[in-house]
Structure 1
Amino acid sequence: MEGPLCNDPADEPEAHALCELAAHIHAATAEFSERVAAFDLRNAWGGAGIRSCAHWLSIYAGFDFPTGRGLIAVGAALGALPLTRAAFRTGELSLDKARALASVATAADEEGWVELGRELTAGQLSRICRLYRQAR
């Protein structure tokens, strides 16, 4: 996204700092999603009464079931999507964007999808991916 980040130029440094912090959060989320997907694959989450890795995440990591399932699914999908993985790990893509891309991208067309992910808002990308899935 280009252009001013806020109304008052005096707030530009804070706006840039917020964007940089968001990129760090996205990068950490990428690592977390990959690690939790591997944790799930090993069935390391088992224990008395634990029904799934998403359930384990709800108890021990503070995520609700849909968020936990989404983190696991995205982490698992990143293995087949190296460009999405790289952009997510550097903070260029958010979890929302990585999740949307993982639902449509293939090795053959991933580059184009990642470029869209970099240019569109998360809401725009999610809508396009949803429409693409419906049209397939």
Structure 2
Amino acid sequence: MFDRDPDVVPLPDLEVEVCGWAGRISAATCRWLTLLAAFDRRKGWSATGLPTCAHWLAWRCGIGLRASYEYLRVARALQTLPQISATFARGEISYSKVRAITRVATPETEGGWAHDAA
């Protein structure tokens, strides 16, 4: 459908494509956060002279510093929440939901959170 003008695509088809892309964006964001967590854990940013990985992320990826800290918080949390991470990786929940539930989920409660969020 990439070659079709979205203004002429039938609405049911357009809805399917919009939702499909949302899932792919979620899955890609999960992968990006997984990579970011590994980069942070391995201190890949430390040779730059910047004080934190969040500062590196803001500088190298053009993300605001506050958002960088939040991405790192979520990336770190996902390392301890495999069910939520798997649901996110499958594109079944959005970053917005993951961001919210990683504030309250624990390894003991994550199954319920992942189920409720999907």
- Which structure is higher in RCO with an 8 Å CA cutoff and minimum separation 6? 2
Please tell me the residue identity of whatever aligns with 2:31.
E
Give the TM-score of the pair, scaled to structure 1: 0.74
Q: Residues 110, 48 of structure 1: CA spacing in aligned structure 2 closer, same or farther, 3 A cutoff?
A: closer
Alignment correspondent of 1:59: 59
Alignment correspondent of 2:42: 42
Q: Residues 37, 114 of structure 1: CA spacing in aligned structure 2 closer, same or farther, 3 A cutoff?
A: same
Please tell me the residue identity of whatever aligns with 2:82.
P
Aligned-partner Cα distance in 1 for 2:14–2:41: 40
- The alpha-carbon deviation at position 48 of structure 1 amounts to 4.3
Contact 1:38/1:76 (8 A) holds in 2: no
| 4+ residue segments displaced more than 3 Å | none
SS in 2 for 1:44: coil
Aligned-partner Cα distance in 1 for 2:70–2:93: 15
SS in 1 for 2:79: helix
Please tell me the residue identity of whatever aligns with 2:81.
L
Q: Among all aligned residue pairs of Structure 1 and Structure 2, give the percentage whose two residues are the same amino acid.
A: 35
Structure 1 unpaired stretches of 5+:
1-9, 119-136
Structure 2 unpaired stretches of 5+:
1-9
- The alpha-carbon deviation at position 49 of structure 1 amounts to 4.1
| Matched ranges for 1:1-136 at <5 A | 10-118=10-118
Aligned-partner Cα distance in 1 for 2:96–2:66: 13
Give the TM-score of the pair, scaled to structure 2: 0.84
